[in-house]
Every structure is written in C-alpha cells, then in structure tokens.
Structure 1
Amino acid sequence: MVDSTAPTPALCTVRANDTLLWGMTNAERIRRIGVSQGLATDDAGDTGPVILANLAYAFDPVWIAHLKTRPGTVVTRTGVPVLAHVRNADERARMTAAMLGEAPLVSGLTVIAAEAEEGILNEALRKRERPFAELLTPAAVPAIERASYVGAYKGVTDLLTKYLWPEWALAITRVCARAGITPNQVTALGSVLCIVATVAFWYGWFWTGLATGLFFMVLDTVDGKLARCTITSSKLGNAWDHGVDLVHPPFWWWAWAAGCAPYGRPLEDGVFWAVIGTMLFGYVAQRLIEGAFIVRFGMHIHVWERFDSWFRLITARRNPNMVILFAGLLVMRPDWGIIGVAVWTAISLVVHMVRLVQAMLRKAKGETLVSWLA
C-alpha cells in the first residue's frame, strides 16, 4: 500500500557482483539510481528504513520509484528477493539473510513477483508495465542491456523510432557506454549534424541533408537512451536535447522549401508562404494542444485511447514528415514533398483539436479519463 507520509528510505546493497552492465558495476549502477531518485546511498544504520538491493540481480529503476512509498514490500524473481523496503532493524537483518540465501523469505511483507503478468502501474505515466528484474551474469548481459534499453523509453513514439532504427541505436548506445562517451557529447555531435542538414536543405543538397539528418535522428534517440541506461541524466542535457528537438523542425521545413529553388523545383511565392505559414502554425498549435491536454487531464494526449497511440506513429512530427519528404525526393519532386508535409500538418492539427474537444466533452459529462495503457 502506498504511504506518502513514510520517511524516505536509504538505498543499500547486499552481496557482491563484478559483472559489468553498460560498462559499470551493478553497485555503481544502483548508486546512480539512488542519487537520481533522491535517496541516500550510504548505510542508514540498523534502525532507519532501507531499500535493500540484491546485487545478484539487475532491475529497472522504476522498481525503486515504486518501492519508495511502499514500506514493507519486497520484489522477488522466481521466489528470490531482489529488492525490499524494510522498516526496521529486524526486517533488515532477516531480509539480508534471505538475499544471501541463508534464510527463507521474510514473512509479513507484501510480495510482488517481478515475473507476474499484471506488472505494476507507473503512476507518473499512468500506464501499466512490466519492469525487468533479472539475474545478472556475464551470459545474461546482452539480454539485460536490451531490456534496459527497451525500458528506457516509457512513452509512445513515431514509426521510425519504433520500427526502423532501434537496433542501430542500441548498438551505438552500447559502444558509447563502454567507451565512456557521455550523453551530452552525443547531443553535441547531433546538434552539429542538425545544423549541417539545415544548410544542406537550404542549398538544395537534399540527399546529403537527408543522410546527415538520418544520422542526427538516430543520435537523437541514442543520447536519451544512453542517459537513461547509464543513469546519467542531467538538467543541462535534458534541456539541451529537448530544446534542439523543439526548435529545429520548423527550420528544416523552411530550409527545404527554400532549397527547392536551387534544386530546380521552385515553389511559387504564394505557395511558398502558404506552406511555411501552415507548417509553422500547425507545429506550434499542435504542441500547445498536447500541453493543454497534459495540464487538463494529467496525461499525454497520445496515451489516452488506442487510436491516439496509433496516431502518434504517423502524426506530423519530424520523423513522419521526413518520410514524406523522402518520398517526394524519390520521384525528384522535393516541392511535392514539402507541400505534402504542410497538408499532413494541417490534417494532424485537426485530429488533435477534435480529440481535445472530445476529451473536454467527456469530462464535462462526469467521465474520468484514463489511459488505455493503464
């Protein structure tokens, strides 16, 4: 049971494990998880509340967030305690013995089986999920890293990020983690590539721009994944990454429209400004609708109903728009591509407006809106 008034526990480890995960020991990974969630990671003494972590296992950080406000709860894997929020010295001693295999599981605690099909509710995202908790051995590292990588993105996303480059980004994330490359360094390289792609589009070098932009888009996935997998997220990195993501798409569309002239397919002045106006207005308005939905209903519009999650795959964000531009360039009509982006932006805006109004009407009738993923 959730107890928001319970004192904040410390986070301490039991056992030892030299197996490296994402280029670090499990003890270091757990220390970073604790720091990121505001928990003390030194020994709290024999009497304070403590979350004990069994170093024989690797687990999703969401388990710590779940246990913080649930004293007297233990997470098990095939009956072995992986994590436990103990309340006193007696529980701590007995749970430590259980994690060391010297005693049976402590009675009187709420047990959550990590392998259970029902999983847990992620309160922050209002969705149900099954975070991983696996025995950490050298042979299991590839599978655990994959589970950690997949679990690092908790929301819904576009079709390219979901289907095209997960394996590319996973390989690059592994290389970066083992080489000690930081997420901010990846973001810095991506920012340079983003600018290069913008310049290429402006001069009508569309294939060069697409290739550069593709690499940037993959790195745009990598920096966030790397930060979450290595538990190295920072306020600077988060602001930098999201700032670039938020600002650059309109510049790409403007540069592409301008680049149609040197390419040999110029847009007429009226068409040019209609395209630019539609894309700029649609982009800003759609973002505002998404923000308003979060403020009003406490969840993202794209996790409301199944349709909304499906539509997120193709809505007029950067990656789906790049597919439209690529299709236009394949038939040597980049002008058709940018016009297609403008049309799709307008359609996507209408869809979002309709969904917002529908949600408001349902709430006005007394209905409680719940994510279909919950």
Structure 2
Amino acid sequence: MRIWIDAAPAQASARVFGLSLVERIERLTRRIPSAQVTVDRGPGAAGRRLKAFAAGGPEPILAVDGAGVFDSRLLPFLAARDGSVAVTGGEGPRRAAAMRIGSAAALAAVPDDAAGLGEIADAAVTGGAARRLEPTEFPTFVMGLRRDLPYHLERLPDAAARRAYERFLFWSNYKGSTDFLTRWVFPLAVWPLTRLATAIRLHPNWITLAGVVLALAAVPLFMAGWVWTSIVMCWVMAVLDSVDGKVARVTMTESAIGNFLDHGLDIVHPPLWYLGWAWWLSDGALEHPAFIAAIWLCGFYVADRLVLAVPKALWGRGLHAMDRIDSLVRTVISRRNVNLLIFTLGLALGAPVAAFYVVTVWAGATLAWHAGRTAWLAATRPRVVAAT
C-alpha cells in the first residue's frame, strides 16, 4: 500500500516521548504489509499535493495527517478496510484525520485547495465518495493489556497538550488488571524512568536484558546469604519489568526478541526465586519443611499457569479480564510482586520462614480460586472468541 504523510504542518515536528509526530507515524506504518511511505513536507495546499502523489500509481492510498497522534492499532486497521474510509478525531485545533483512498471517485472528491486532511476527509464523506469509520467497527479488546480501549487520534497544538498526551499514553498502556503494586506504587518510579529512557532513545530490549540479569543473579546471591542485596535486586527488576513494556509501547519498538525475553523471564524466574529463598531458609537441607513448601509452591505456580490458559482458549481473553470481580481479585492474588512483598515484610520482621509459608498457602488459595472460577464460567457462559 502507498502511504502519504502530510508533514507540512509545523506541528509535525513536535515530539512525544522523544519522537517527532512524523517519526511516530512512520513507525506505525511498519505494521502495514508492503507499505511504501512518502513524507510530504509541502509547500502548497494539501489537496493539490495529495493529488500529485496519487498520480504516481493506481494502488490504494493511506493518507495520514503528519501533525496527528494515532492509536497504534488504528492505521493498520484503516489500511486493511475495503474501499474508501475516513477517520477523524479531536475538535478545533486538535482535529486530526486519516483516510484510505480506494477509488477514483474518492480521489476526485479531494478539493484542490484543501488545507489539511480533515477538510479532505469531510469533503469525501459529504460527497458520498467515502464513508466514515464507525467506532463500533473497531475491535477494542487488547489481549496483551487485558482491557478494552477505543481508538484515539488528535492533534497536539501546544506543549501542554503534548504533556497531557504523554500521560494519557503512559496510563493507557497499563494492563486493565494487575497487582496493586504495579498499578499504584511502581508508577512513582516507572513514569520518570520511561521519560528518561525515551529521551535518550534507550531501546526497551536493553531494559529487559537488565531485568533478566538482575532476576537471575538474585538467585545465587540469596542462596549465598546476600539476602538484602538479592531482595533489592528483585525489587529493581520488578520495576524494570514495568518500564520496558511501557517504553516499547509508547515508542512502537515492540519486537519478537523483546517479547520472548520479557515473557520468558516472567514465566521462569518466580520458581527460581522461590527455590533460592527455600535453599537459604533450609541451609540447603532438602528435607527441611521450607524446601518442601517450595516444592508445593512451585507446583501451585505451574498448575495455576495451566488453569489460566483455559479462559484464553474458551473465551479469547484472560480470566482476569472476564468480569469486574476477576479484575479486582487480580490486585492481590499470588503473583511475583505480591509474594515478594510478603517475603520482604517477613524478612524485615525477622520471620522469613513464616512469611514463606504464607506465600505458599496464598499460592494454593489462588490456584483454588482460579480453578473454581474457571469451572463456574465454563458451566455458565458460552464460548466466545473475542477479537484482539
């Protein structure tokens, strides 16, 4: 598909999370198969420039306002539609637009003297040469974030609007259901670290790699008795685990290797931590009750992972995105951050063994809840595969 970015407006050079608005759009277009991108910086009316570009070939065109900010899902979705489709968002100076031009009639409807894509889109829709994208057409559920998010697009006319948009983008990339530490405590560090990483253009994979090193190095340190050093490393890793995903999503730098490292680490490191904690607590005696508890804890962990795969297979979304109660329960269930907090408090109070037993019991209770909840939903709710 041929893609035309109108970069003539002065706002197109404004920056959001370290990237100019045109750079952001160019990164989004990489998600469109066979994209051929042209950045048009003028001069002249947008209508004439768009028609001149269209004369270069008969293929459909995706025309994008270079001064706008777009939901990362919107342009690929728009490009995949049939015919001619326009989408607009924002009001007054914040109005932005994009349009798929799929017919000669839609191109002919472009006014020569149109100043911007908003005017072009309105003329095509009013003249019947294009239709407007309806919000109800757009699949809002995001599997990776376990939440529904309507698409957004707008212009950012000033620095205040850009700062507000960065905040919006940051919070919209939080998962809809997560533990209370990730949602309410970690952002105090994640926000400035995300700002810093994007300002210096640090690739999120480097942040993920730092988390991998910290998570794995903490295990032998704990076993060797460097308890508080290891605990600090665990907490830093937990924070970085929020930072890398935010940086990747707000800068559109997600990658297969990044996802593999991030999700692979999330699966592997918790049981390693638990076994490392048990080794220190038991002085390496495998028959010690703490080590036996660790075996149970790891078993609960694996079983819980398997149970949580069932809702994704049956309903196309994770259990914690099914109903409000599931999202609320997710804030306190047995997961790495909650377990780390319980164990840290136990260390601070001089009762690490008791804390470890609490973590084990809480993991068992979490498994029982998830299994019971999944069974109840399977018996009462028909299978529905949601769009992602």
Q: TM-score, normalised by structure 2?
A: 0.82
The answer to whether 1:85 aligns with 2:107 is no
- For the residue of structure 1 that corresponds to 2:332, the secondary structure is coil
Aligned residues of 1:132 and 1:147 also touching (Cα < 8 A): no
Counterpart selection for 2:75 from 61, 64, 68:
64
The aligned counterpart of 1:134 is: 154
**Residue 25 and residue 313 in structure 1: after superposition, are their counterparts in 2 closer, same or farther (change >3 A)?**
same
Aligned residues of 2:98 and 2:117 also touching (Cα < 8 A): no
**Residue 132 and residue 267 in structure 1: after superposition, are their counterparts in 2 closer, same or farther (change >3 A)?**
farther
- For the residue of structure 1 that corresponds to 2:87, the secondary structure is strand
Instruction: Please say which structure displays the higher CA radius of gyration.
Output: 2
The aligned counterpart of 1:342 is: 360
**Residue 156 and residue 19 in structure 1: after superposition, are their counterparts in 2 closer, same or farther (change >3 A)?**
same
- For the residue of structure 1 that corresponds to 2:122, the secondary structure is coil
How many residues are treated as equivalent by the alignment?
356
**Residue 230 and residue 81 in structure 1: after superposition, are their counterparts in 2 closer, same or farther (change >3 A)?**
closer
The answer to whether 1:20 aligns with 2:33 is no
Counterpart-to-counterpart distance in 1, 2:254 and 2:107: 31
**Deviation (angstroms), 1:86:** 2.8
- For the residue of structure 1 that corresponds to 2:13, the secondary structure is coil
**Residue 124 and residue 143 in structure 1: after superposition, are their counterparts in 2 closer, same or farther (change >3 A)?**
closer
Counterpart selection for 1:275 from 293, 308, 320:
293
The aligned counterpart of 1:48 is: 59
The answer to whether 1:290 aligns with 2:318 is no
Counterpart-to-counterpart distance in 2, 1:92 and 1:77: 24
**Residue 65 and residue 155 in structure 1: after superposition, are their counterparts in 2 closer, same or farther (change >3 A)?**
farther
Structure 1, unaligned runs of 5 or more: 1-8
Aligned residues of 2:297 and 2:364 also touching (Cα < 8 A): yes
- For the residue of structure 2 that corresponds to 1:52, the secondary structure is strand
Q: Which moved more, 1:144-153 or 1:317-326?
A: 144-153
Q: What amino acid maps onto 1:149 in structure 2?
A: F
Aligned residues of 2:177 and 2:321 also touching (Cα < 8 A): yes
Counterpart-to-counterpart distance in 2, 1:274 and 1:59: 52
**Residue 55 and residue 66 in structure 1: after superposition, are their counterparts in 2 closer, same or farther (change >3 A)?**
same
Q: Deviations over 1:342-362 (max 9, x none)?
A: 101100000111112112212
The aligned counterpart of 2:188 is: 167
Q: What amino acid maps onto 1:135 in structure 2?
A: R
Q: What amino acid maps onto 1:29 in structure 2?
A: R
- For the residue of structure 1 that corresponds to 2:30, the secondary structure is helix
The aligned counterpart of 1:229 is: 250
* Identity rate, percent: 29
Aligned residues of 1:48 and 1:88 also touching (Cα < 8 A): no
**Residue 103 and residue 352 in structure 1: after superposition, are their counterparts in 2 closer, same or farther (change >3 A)?**
closer
**Deviation (angstroms), 1:133:** 2.5
Aligned residues of 1:152 and 1:228 also touching (Cα < 8 A): yes
Structure 2, unaligned runs of 5 or more: 39-52
Q: What amino acid maps onto 2:90 in structure 1?
A: R
